[in-house]
Chain A
Amino acid sequence: MNSNRIVLFVAIGLLTIMVVANSINSNGDYIPLDSLEISAADNTENFSKLMDVLTHPRCMNCHPNDNIPKQGIDRHPHYFDMARGEDDHGFKATSCNTCHQSENNPYSGVPGAPHWALAPASMGWQGLSHEQIAQRLLDKSTNGGKDHKALVEHLTQDKLVLWAWEPGVDANGNLRETPPISKEEYIQVVEEWFANGAVIPVN
């Protein structure tokens, strides 16, 4: 079991508990969490909202577990058999950027954002449980060496992540569906969840 995540056992009726476990602070140092005060209910709600976002097709489509990007709200495999390639950017001559630029295209309906690419294979989420997704998200060995601070920054500031709330129109000119909560609420959820130690609830 990785040491940089904590498992929260929720006791019925106990709104605030003290957790004895390890987590990492914003500098990436491991600290004991015995002094951290967390509202279990709030944490669970934040966690669940965060997961609703991360598992929405807008996010999940580019976090596949099979090297095939997905498209659309029905999560179909990317047309023309586009795939991860050697560097997550598609194939050498026909890459993601052959069609996807750094902005959405209102005429073609091709979505775009800066550094458009698949998430690294280690960040494949498709088919995983919420707990497993969170583990991959928090684990430095899978998340590209990001500590909590870097993760919060990535999740709340990266334009490719936030593209989910400005996904533009599809090939038919219809607006793409956005994740279930607003961008502002999502940012708040991320910040709170991390501020509270990024605790993964276990049922």
Chain B
Amino acid sequence: MTINFTLNGSAETVTLSDDMTPLLWVIRDILGQKGTKFGCGKAACGACTIHVNGEAVRSCSYPIKFAEGKKVVTIEGLGTLDNPHPVQQAWVEKVVPQCGYCQPGFMMATAALLEKIPNPTDEDIDKNIINICRCGTYYRMRKAIQRAAEIKANELIETSKTS
């Protein structure tokens, strides 16, 4: 089966014999983007969280066939060192990561949260950010999520001023 979709803006075509192959492995092993992590393969830890058409999706549990015609974004497409996404900028400012392995999943989940709820309350954060971090960076994460919302709001103000 051949599937077409975009990964971080670039058009991709992959051919697989098993169309139930999790999108995670297509992204990592066929397309070589390693930022999206394998943690459990059971949609339990959230390390593989990406965006499909703007929605947070755990890619270890998302068959490649459903990606047909869709826009897939991973941590590599969220932002760059020169042009970081507000979530990444906040993560750097608050020095959140320790081992770093779970962090892309958290950042993708947070970016999705801020799209839906630009100014999340603690309760919004508690309910939506349910990935697992073993190093225990949660304390800084909450601060970074709040800071990211602030950066994003300021960017919106800047954009509306210039346009």
Contacts and interface: CB of A to CB of B under 8 A. Distances in A.
Interface of A: 79-83, 85, 91-95, 97-99, 101-103, 105-110, 171
Contact of B58 (A81, A92, A98, A109): A98
Contacts of B42: 108-110, 171
A108 to B, nearest CB: 4
A16 B61 CA distance: 53
Interface stretch (B8-16, B26-34, B127-135, B155-163): B127-135
Q: Is the interface of B mostly helix, strand, loop or mixed?
A: mixed
Interface of B: 20-22, 41-44, 49, 55-58, 60-63, 66, 109, 112-113, 115-117, 124, 127-130
A112 to B, nearest CB: 8
B128 A92 contact: yes
B113 A102 contact: no
A148 to B, nearest CB: 35
Contacts of B55: 95, 97-98
A98 B44 CA distance: 11
Given A94-B56, A101-B63, A105-B63, 12 more contacts: A82-B130, A91-B124, A92-B124, A92-B128, A93-B112, A93-B128, A98-B49, A98-B56, A99-B61, A101-B66, A107-B22, A107-B60
B78 to A, nearest CB: 14
